[in-house]
Amino acid sequence: MLAFEKCHRFCHPDVTSYLFFFDGLISSAKDVGILHYKGILYHSLGSNRKVAKLVNNLCKEVVPDNDESYLYKVVNNTNSYFNTGYARKRAVLVHHYFSSWLVGISTLGAIFALYLTLIQTASGVASALGHLHDNNFCSYIRDSILLPFSGNPSTPNGPTVGEINQSDKCCECLCTYLKKLLKGIDETKND
């Protein structure tokens, strides 16, 4: 059929185009196995390696005529789609994260858990914004340092002058305690 299509000038190269298309699809025995598993290709040659060798040798020394090929548009559209970023990212997602139904369900569950975590974080920030308007930054710093020692948070309307002085005294006590503690650690290292 290849020789007839090449020798007859009024014949369209349909079989030649089809064989070049299959030659592009099949490069190894694994490709033949995939096409056979999907029901696209049936053979009775015995092994997939023989089929791959046969298909790859059919188009040797034959020049393809892409302008007259009815599959030229299909191959060109497939190649242009494959070269897009969307197709490559989709292929990676399907290959890695949706390779089986179990992996797909766990991926969707992880995405849903991340979504719920983001909602919880956003609602926590939104509820804290109201308190930020009521208090100043100094009171939050003081609370984060002194709350483990005093057990009481500062007033919601912000610290007064007496509270600032009292917190300064507590901070000084805390600093001296930490200095003594570090000095004791240094002395034990030297001994």
The mean pLDDT values, 10 residues at a time, for the chain of 191 residues are: 73 77 84 87 84 84 70 81 90 86 90 91 70 62 67 53 49 65 63 56
State residue 161's pLDDT score: 42
Q: Are residues 6 and 66 in the same domain?
A: yes
CB–CB of 94/59 below 8 Å?
Answer: no
Q: Are residues 28 and 79 in the same domain?
A: yes
Residue 94 token pair: 């399907």
Q: Are residues 116 and 79 in the same domain?
A: no
The range of the structural domain enclosing residue 14 comes to 2-83
What's the CA gap between 123 and 116, in Å, rounded? 11
State residue 132's pLDDT score: 57
Q: Are residues 26 and 51 in the same domain?
A: yes
State residue 116's pLDDT score: 92
State residue 86's pLDDT score: 92
State residue 112's pLDDT score: 94
Q: Are residues 158 and 112 in the same domain?
A: no
- Report pTM: 0.44
State residue 110's pLDDT score: 93
Q: Are residues 7 and 25 in the same domain?
A: yes
Domain count within the chain: 3
CB–CB of 151/170 below 8 Å?
Answer: no
For the chain, what is the radius of gyration of the CA atoms? 37
Q: Are residues 51 and 94 in the same domain?
A: no
